[in-house]
Structure 1
């Protein structure tokens, strides 16, 4: 009986790491610390979102830590490039238990649009069980100037109704 060759993938020893894909540079507008004024859908409350975005994994990804007040919501988004599908990806999680996964085909006519499912917690609960809603999210980013971008957000509910709000973000 002969031993099977070990074909397991191993990280390279020494040398330079695999460079980040050039497409990730299209997300550089997110880097840094921002304060965003949230304009809610009709009937909602204005809020302030604080963002801090950094590179991760040798520049292959960006991660954004965010806090939303009022509400004490703390979240993290991880942005990257999917080289197989040729799309940008974004995964979101927060301390209420909400989570989402979105994709974008890239910049078109000055807009970077991410779409995907979001499970939104309605009322947080320390028991690990609460109510929420599964909806579709659309984030429409537009760079308005150096250190200034807007994200127009749409939430589409299972009944087809849609709520829209926007974040106006300025680098600190």
Structure 2
């Protein structure tokens, strides 16, 4: 299995500045971290001052309580939406497997998340896909119930291929103690849309010694 939201309350406060000095605004953003178990509240203070920057494309921040629209680039990942069954062809010596995926929009469309199960192995994972507007890249963060995790980026579609690359920490044998062995790999996911509701993901795992294993997922929407 390859390396695969929250009410936000914004409080604004201002304090007087010396006459003639540029005005600064400070926001405190409280985000419930309700991802697992007993949620805790993190407080992040952001200070924004006028800076010189590259001209934007004419887009402006939302006014009042209107949500910020999702970036248009995220639509390039729409092929992932829905439920898929994928037949996994492993590297030589590996065992075939079946991967089931369900991908939905999250955070008003700013992200997509994929819940997945792989059998055999009883592996349950989640991938979160998004767009990094600062670097101009797609991002994918992966976690699973074995404890494996990864973080990948892609520059976008090129010649019919969407390629993500990045580091993966792969657990070899899961262990309930929270301590086990694993290996750090470099992962490559090469997505290609073959038809409506049909895509392929050719994966490549590169080990620290330079050796590489390759497999592929052939996915059909249900």
**Please, what TM-score do these two structures have when normalized by structure 1?**
0.92
Compared CA separation, residues 105 and 170, structure 1 to 2 (3 A): same
Across the two proteins, how many residue pairs are aligned to each other? 172
Q: Distance in 2 between matches of 1:37 and 1:143?
A: 15
Which residues of structure 1 form unaligned runs of 5+? none
Residue among 116, 121, 132 paired with 1:66: 116
Q: Distance in 1 between matches of 2:146 and 2:67?
A: 36
Per-residue Cα deviation, 1:104-141 (whole angstroms, up to 9, x for no partner): 00000000000000000000000000010000000000
Compared CA separation, residues 12 and 112, structure 1 to 2 (3 A): closer
Counterpart secondary structure, 2:61: coil
CA RMSD between the two structures: 5.3
How far the C-alpha of 1:168 sits from its partner, in A, is 0.1
Compared CA separation, residues 70 and 5, structure 1 to 2 (3 A): closer
> Is contact 2:192–2:199 with CA below 8 Å preserved after alignment?
yes
Q: Distance in 1 between matches of 2:81 and 2:53?
A: 50
Compared CA separation, residues 59 and 99, structure 1 to 2 (3 A): same
Q: Distance in 2 between matches of 1:77 and 1:3?
A: 33
**Please, what TM-score do these two structures have when normalized by structure 2?**
0.72
What stretches of structure 1 move > 2 A for 4+ residues in a row? 1-16
Q: Distance in 2 between matches of 1:3 and 1:54?
A: 34
Compared CA separation, residues 9 and 98, structure 1 to 2 (3 A): farther
Compared CA separation, residues 16 and 163, structure 1 to 2 (3 A): same
Which residues of structure 2 form unaligned runs of 5+? 1-50
